[in-house]
């Protein structure tokens, strides 16, 4: 288990959906943490979050304005930080397609800056957030996140005798996160009773905020350096989401937006040569690593997946139904939700 007592954690993009969920989890479960730093560039979101977590009640929390594009600011922020969770990114596919240079500066340049700032300070462990769109990417957002993944994984090769460990977690759509389909559909149902369907065959992986938090904490605790963790999670059909939220709504087919896939993938057949089953998670190991593979396999009872194995939202064996989606929406998105 991870010993957080007396440690300091910094979350880049800490005012986002996952950053706020991580903050709640850490403060509730690790009250003996020394310091929790919320690093982001949005002063309004920091102001609002500070009302929710006043320093009088949460003396461990700090709010730090900064942009991952600014390496000097990161180096300053990382002073006396033990663990870094890198959640900052441009995430909207269509916005990245229209503003590619801005996406590259944040998602790739920002990743480089985080890696270099960690190596220049005394950070011990780093977990970077990825996305299923980074797997065999067809859009710029996915391509930048794949590059970011590669930067964090390769950072383990340039650390020298520094004991720091870099790892990555990759998962699908976070239920109820800002900009995701479920809150969008709920709002559309309320406003005009129309739920636009991009493609009736479309599927996505589904994970709750709590599941995302649990995965990040797992990687912080157990990563040896260089692993890319992938959760075993269910898929849903976009038509089932629409039926769960608005069975009586009009559901026009509007077509796939630029850069979208019909099905998402988290592990490709090409990744299968380096992929191991850890039970609750899969992990894609780096081609080169600084530790003994046999020791890793024995420690985690890891089992090699079969060659050609892939993990695709359309071919998943675990599926949400209309009924389970309604229960999850009420539990994780809107407790007052009614059909």
Residue 14: both structure tokens together? 């800490």
Residue 291 · residue 224 · CB < 8 Å: yes
Q: Is 75 exposed, middle or buried (0-12, 13-18, 19+ CB in 10 A)?
A: middle
Pairing of strands 275-277, 281-284: antiparallel
145-166 in b/e burial notation, b at 16+ Cβ within 10 A? bbbbbbbbbebbeebeeeebbb
Residue 300: both structure tokens together? 């985690």
- Choose among 166, 270, 307, 269: nearest CA to 223: 166
8 vs 123: CA distance, rounded Å: 9
227 vs 296: CA distance, rounded Å: 11
CA distances from 182 to 206, 208, 251, 325 (A): 11, 12, 14, 10
Pairing of strands 203-207, 235-237: antiparallel
Angle, alpha carbons 64-70-75 (nearest 5°): 65
- Choose among 11, 157, 19: nearest CA to 78: 11
Residue 82 · residue 123 · CB < 8 Å: yes
Helix (H, G, I), strand (E, B) or coil at 132: helix
Active site residues: 133
- Choose among 46, 51, 53: nearest CA to 12: 46
118 vs 68: CA distance, rounded Å: 12
């Amino acid at each position: 288990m991870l010993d957080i007592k007396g440690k300091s954690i910094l979350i880049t993009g800490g005012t986002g959906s996952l950053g706020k969920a991580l903050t709640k989890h850490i403060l509730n479960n690790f009250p003996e943490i020394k310091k929790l730093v919320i690093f982001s560039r949005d002063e309004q979101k920091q102001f609002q979050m500070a009302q929710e977590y006043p320093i009088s009640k949460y003396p461990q929390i700090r709010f730090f304005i900064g942009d991952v594009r600014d390496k000097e600011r990161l180096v300053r922020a990382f002073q006396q930080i033990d663990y870094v969770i890198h959640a900052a990114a441009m995430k909207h596919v269509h916005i990245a397609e229209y503003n590619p240079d801005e996406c590259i500066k944040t998602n790739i340049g920002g990743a480089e800056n985080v890696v270099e700032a960690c190596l220049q300070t005394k950070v011990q462990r780093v977990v970077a957030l990825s996305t299923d769109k980074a797997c065999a990417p067809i859009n710029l957002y996915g391509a930048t996140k794949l590059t970011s993944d590669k930067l964090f994984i390769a950072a383990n090769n340039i650390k020298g005798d520094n004991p720091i460990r870099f790892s990555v977690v990759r998962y699908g759509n976070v239920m109820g996160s800002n900009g995701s389909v479920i809150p969008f559909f709920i709002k559309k149902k309320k406003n005009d009773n129309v739920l636009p369907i991009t493609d009736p065959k479309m599927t996505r992986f589904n994970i709750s905020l709590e599941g995302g938090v649990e995965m990040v904490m797992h990687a912080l605790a157990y990563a040896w350096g260089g692993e890319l963790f992938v959760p075993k999670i269910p898929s849903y059909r976009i038509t089932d989401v629409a039926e769960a939220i608005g069975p009586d709504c009009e559901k026009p087919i509007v077509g796939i937006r630029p850069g979208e896939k019909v099905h998402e993938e988290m592990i490709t057949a090409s990744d299968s040569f380096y992929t191991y089953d850890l039970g609750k998670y899969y992990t894609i190991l780096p081609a080169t690593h600084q530790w003994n593979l046999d020791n890793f396999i024995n420690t985690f009872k890891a089992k090699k997946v079969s060659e050609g194995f892939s993990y695709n939202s359309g071919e998943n064996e675990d599926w949400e139904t209309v009924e389970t989606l309604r229960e999850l929406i009420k539990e994780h998105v809107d407790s007052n939700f009614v059909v």
